[in-house]
Amino acid sequence: DSVDLTRTLEELKSVVESKLATIKKFLREKRAQDEARHRAAGQNTEALHKTLKRMKNEIVTMQEKTRLLEEQVLRDPLTGVHNRRALDTRLQEEVHRFQRYGQIFSLLVIDLDRFKHVNDVYGHTTGDQCLKEVARRMSAVLRKSDFLARYGGEEFVVILPGIQKEAARCVAEKLRHCVEKTRFLYQGQRIPLTVSVGVSQIEAQEETPESVFQRADLALYEAKKQGRNKVVVDPETP
């Protein structure tokens, strides 16, 4: 069109130069716009990465808080060992594991002898310190795979996975001896403290957590009858 409209070469040159200048200007503006969009996209991407990183950190923090809360729910606040709720869950799991895979386990029910006397004479604060020390000493004797829980008051329960009754009796004796030889002191005066232990072993496929516990509890009662500071194995355990 420009060629048709111009009469001389100079006019055509002038028109072409004008058109080229317009195209160059457009290209510069287009390049500037593209660069601005790229910078904005880069800034948005960086902001997105920062947001994602912050969200990830928040998720990790929340997961850790959740884990700690769950741990607190399953721990005895005084002794730091597992509590009754955790024990019920773990015992049910061990029974299911035995029923499905045949993995044996034994159970210890442990009671501090004449602990009411300790509380009455030396005070509940001293009694609490004794409970904490007993839990700490017993934890040091047990394997990592063993499960120690405070059942309530001055009573503890230990689950021994893969352990039969005779080996469980040996573990119970170690725990009894550990407590017996520990020096519990109150204002320089030694507090006599011992434990009695009842032992049972999972028996049959149809057995329940309650029945395993009941037999260990009856064995504990027999240990008390025999004078305390003793270990008794449930006679019905094979």
- Among residues 46, 154, 173, 180, the one annotated as catalytic is 154
Q: Which residues touch 217 (CB under 8 Å, ≥6 apart)?
A: 109, 198
Residue bearing tokens 């070469």: 9
Q: Which residues touch 222 (CB under 8 Å, ≥6 apart)?
A: 198, 232
Query: Is 154 tagged catalytic?
Result: yes
Structural element, H or E, at residue 137: helix 124-141
Straight-line distance from the first to the last Cα atom of the chain, in angstroms, rounded to the nearest whole number: 110
Q: Exposed, middle or buried, 183 (CB in 10 Å: 0-12/13-18/19+)?
A: exposed
Q: Which residues touch 144 (CB under 8 Å, ≥6 apart)?
A: none
Tallying the residues shown for the chain, one arrives at: 238
23 to each of 14, 28, 29, 30, how far by Cα in Å? 14, 9, 10, 10
- Which residues are known to be catalytic? 154
